[in-house]
Structure 1
Amino acid sequence: MSAFRAFHVLRVMQSPRAHTRTTTGAHRLLPLAAAWLLTRALMLWLLAHNTHPLLGRGAVAREVWKLYHHWYMTLAHGAFPAHDALWQYPPGAGPVLLSPALLPGLTYFQSFVALTLAVDALIALALARAGSRPGRSLHGAAYWTLGLPLLLHVPLARYDVQATAFAVLSLLALRRSPRAGGVLAALGALVKVWPALVLLGAPRGRTTRSAWTWAAAAAAVAGLALAAAFRNPLAFVRQQGGRGVQIESFGGTVLSFATHAGWPGTVRYQYGSLEFTGPHVAAVAHLSLVLSAAAFALLVLWRVRARRWTPATPYDAALSAVLLFTVTSRVISPQYLVWLLGLAAVCLTSRQTTQRPVAALIAAAAVVSVVAYPTLYHLVASCTWTGCVVMFVRNGLLGVAAVLSLARLWRSTRSPTPHTTPEPDTHRLPRGTLSPS
């Protein structure tokens, strides 16, 4: 750098306008940092007192120190828990569950929680960085910071924050580096499958080809590496296929109400959750699979018929896709809301997103979800009227959010004129065009 250029840069940095921008940015980020510290301290306090009846009587933390640690011992010997009916996760979950070994001075539980908090902070930082760019918004970082604690201490005792990090980072990287976006989505899919959906809204043409090609290559390489490092890498497929209808799913809500009409089914703990057993349960489970297939077909139809992309379209499409697969799932555990909160936060980093009302519905669903679990889970499991109503409200909010999300996504990509002021890289796809000009 020449002396003149260095002097010019220094002069610009010292100008009142540059100083004002830097100060304003710092003032905007300081409240977010303070809010993150305060809310995460509260979540840790709740986790430390999780034996209280309203906090789950210890069931939330038990999943880490008992179940995850048990799997850790098996994984440490180079094998996946092939004969454990509770092991229903892709091979990428193995390294995540082994990661607490990186902090040898702590117990497994302490290390797991510490690493989860670190990944949570990484998501918040990535959202804040994205939101600080010109034309973007810090609403996404604020939504994640204040939204995750709505689930109380549950996110700290599940590895869904780690899976969500891959999806969030993939979406944020997609615009500048489709290759990095594809790799991150693939690694996330190896951890918990659903992050593969975040590439559904990648802009047509070079971005899609690059992202999907690198995702396939990364999945193949990482999958082969995991297969070489661990025995029984595909054991999870058999266990996942045997799952029934969880009491918190849409089908479970219908069956819960059916018990008050004389249906003779019962609730039983199996495959790691409370599921219904009895007449017609298999039919409800099969219907859920059919609805998931229909949701996928609807998303493919959207992509084929979409005519314009904005910078927010990949984000909006990812949230819509995961919402549709969530509401049609046989299992809607409370930690699924972590995924939705993360994707909604990414949407809110863009001023052109169509998903603001959807994000509000997801936040409301998160509040009701923790009322169902862990607070009133015994009433939900007993199919009492209170439990039925709580699940009806939670799933109703998610159902409305899914329909609204897809409708707004569809309308925003079919409209001949943008509803918002376009950003510099917004482009339209004329009818019949295969790739953006």
Structure 2
Amino acid sequence: MRRRHLLVALAAAWLASRALMLWLLAHDSAGILGGRVGREVWRTYHHWYGVLTQGAFPAHDTLWQYPPGAGLVLLSPGALPWWTYFQAFVALTVVSDGVIAYALARAGTRSGRRLAGAAVWVFGLPLLVRVPFARYDVQVTALAVVSLLALSRSTRVCGAFAALGALVKVWPALALLGAPRGRDTRSVWASALLTGASLLLVLVFAFRNPLAFLRQQGGRGVQIESLGGTVLSLARHVGWPGKVRYQYGAMEFTGPYVSSVAHASLALTAVAFGLLLLWRVRARHWTEAVPFDAALSAVLLFTVTSRVISPQYMIWLLGLAAVCLTSRHTTQRPVAVLILLSTAVSSAIFPVLYGDVIACTRTGTGLLVLRNGMLLLAAVLSFARLWRSTTLRASSDTESYPQARRESPAPASL
């Protein structure tokens, strides 16, 4: 009965909070809680939709920096022709949000699981105000969440959804990093490769210029909200002469040493990748939560070392943190708290006080230091706890998890 009451409370909270988010998005032009965020949909996405319906990817648009699977998401509002593109896109995003909440709640009701994950998603996403419904990252996060939650029941489904997510925005491929050794890993990756290759082949034959995004990605600089951007924002206060300019779809720094900061970010990303590979080689002990914890740790490491930390990146982290908290065995509880706090600060950075961030005022720079400092701490703490829980000596029930999950449970005694 207590669990049923919690589910009803979560459903009510989801309805109320999403209604408020939709109201704020509907009044976007009024400038409530910052500037407009909806133009990404009705201007940029809608323009790409027009190009995609002609059988081509927007190859010559510097803003097109996404894998070819993203085209399918941007075409999906066409399935609801009785609404405008903006209305249909938002409706499908809300549905994806509901799918995530439902999947987390259902997982939380299983034996040995918790509803804390569903609560993190339901109450955490509104911290980003209306931004989540004006980006397609909720749809991508839904694919990653379903992939991870499906692992314990079907490795093939897990791999397939991860591949779909990777073709839309790359990072869901990291959901496969923590699959248990042996047969599970082989099955997950085989399913992912088969699904990904099949869909990519279809897109290559159905559209022109499917790989044009690679050229645009390579030209990106240092976005003001990234960790490197925080360093440059601080440098502005001690005399660095750099400027902020809109390019490649984001506000980026230009000036001396910017290229060095960008190269440093790429080098740190390579180091993060190396650490994750080393963890995979050294890991010996798995619980049901290790695949969840590994996915969160990997995405955190790649986020903090990226040249870009857009506000919608927090949607990914919220979704993965929520998956972790569905398990009683997770090591990421303090990390989830840091992510929630970082998400709250992110809404102040964009859209509420974005003008201060662009101008590198003390307030704007302080918000960046606070948010990115917490994300950096979360990344270090996440990886350290993952490493400690899987490479050091573990209890007997932890060591036997990969075998135990394949065995049928004994019938309960009467």
TM-score by length of 1: 0.90
Which of 123, 127, 131 is equivalent to 2:104?
A: 127
Letter in 1 for 2:91: A
Q: Is the 8 A contact 2:35 2:352 kept in 1?
A: no
Q: Is the 8 A contact 2:266 2:305 kept in 1?
A: yes
Question: Which has the higher Rg, Structure 1 or Structure 2?
Answer: 1
Letter in 1 for 2:102: L
Alpha-carbon separation, structure 2, partners of 1:417 and 1:144: 30
Which of 392, 396, 406 is equivalent to 1:415?
A: 392
Instruction: Describe the SS at the equivalent of 2:351.
Output: helix
Deviation at residue 422 of structure 1 after TM alignment: 4.8
Establish whether residue 268 from structure 1 lines up as the match of residue 259 from structure 2. no
- Residue of structure 1 equivalent to 2:199: 222
RMSD: 1.5
Instruction: Describe the SS at the equivalent of 2:71.
Output: helix
- Residue of structure 2 equivalent to 1:139: 116
Q: Say which is worse superposed, 45-54 or 348-357, in terms of deviation.
A: 45-54
Deviation at residue 24 of structure 1 after TM alignment: 4.5
Q: Is the 8 A contact 1:167 1:195 kept in 2?
A: yes
- Residue of structure 1 equivalent to 2:29: 51
Which of 264, 267, 284 is equivalent to 2:261?
A: 284
Deviation at residue 264 of structure 1 after TM alignment: 1.1
Alpha-carbon separation, structure 2, partners of 1:28 and 1:363: 20
Alpha-carbon separation, structure 2, partners of 1:125 and 1:340: 18
Alpha-carbon separation, structure 1, partners of 2:32 and 2:352: 5
Alpha-carbon separation, structure 1, partners of 2:160 and 2:402: 25
Deviation at residue 57 of structure 1 after TM alignment: 2.6
Deviation at residue 49 of structure 1 after TM alignment: 1.9
Which of 397, 401, 411 is equivalent to 1:426?
A: 401
Q: Structure 1: which 5+ residue stretches go unaligned?
A: 1-22, 430-437
Deviation at residue 427 of structure 1 after TM alignment: 5.1
Deviation string for 1:176-212 (max 9, x for gaps)? 1111101110010000000001100000000000001
Q: Is the 8 A contact 1:245 1:331 kept in 2?
A: yes
Q: Is the 8 A contact 1:368 1:394 kept in 2?
A: yes
Alpha-carbon separation, structure 2, partners of 1:208 and 1:73: 40
Alpha-carbon separation, structure 1, partners of 2:96 and 2:70: 15
Establish whether residue 103 from structure 1 lines up as the match of residue 80 from structure 2. yes
- Residue of structure 1 equivalent to 2:271: 294
- Which residues in structure 2 correspond to 1:177-326 (within 5 Å)? 177-326=154-303
Instruction: Describe the SS at the equivalent of 1:55.
Output: coil
Aligned length: 404
- Residue of structure 2 equivalent to 1:66: 43
Letter in 2 for 1:46: L
Alpha-carbon separation, structure 1, partners of 2:315 and 2:224: 19
Alpha-carbon separation, structure 2, partners of 1:152 and 1:227: 37
Establish whether residue 161 from structure 1 lines up as the match of residue 138 from structure 2. yes
Instruction: Describe the SS at the equivalent of 2:187.
Output: helix
Alpha-carbon separation, structure 2, partners of 1:400 and 1:24: 35
Establish whether residue 117 from structure 1 lines up as the match of residue 94 from structure 2. yes
Alpha-carbon separation, structure 1, partners of 2:251 and 2:203: 31
Deviation at residue 428 of structure 1 after TM alignment: 8.9
- Residue of structure 2 equivalent to 1:85: 62
- Residue of structure 2 equivalent to 1:35: 13
- Residue of structure 2 equivalent to 1:402: 379
Alpha-carbon separation, structure 2, partners of 1:160 and 1:55: 21
Deviation string for 1:152-171 (max 9, x for gaps)? 10000000000001110000
- Residue of structure 2 equivalent to 1:17: none
Matched-pair identity in %:
67
- Residue of structure 2 equivalent to 1:339: 316
Letter in 2 for 1:64: V
Deviation string for 1:80-132 (max 9, x for gaps)? 00000000000000010010011111110000000000010001111111110
Deviation at residue 25 of structure 1 after TM alignment: 4.2
Deviation at residue 415 of structure 1 after TM alignment: 2.8
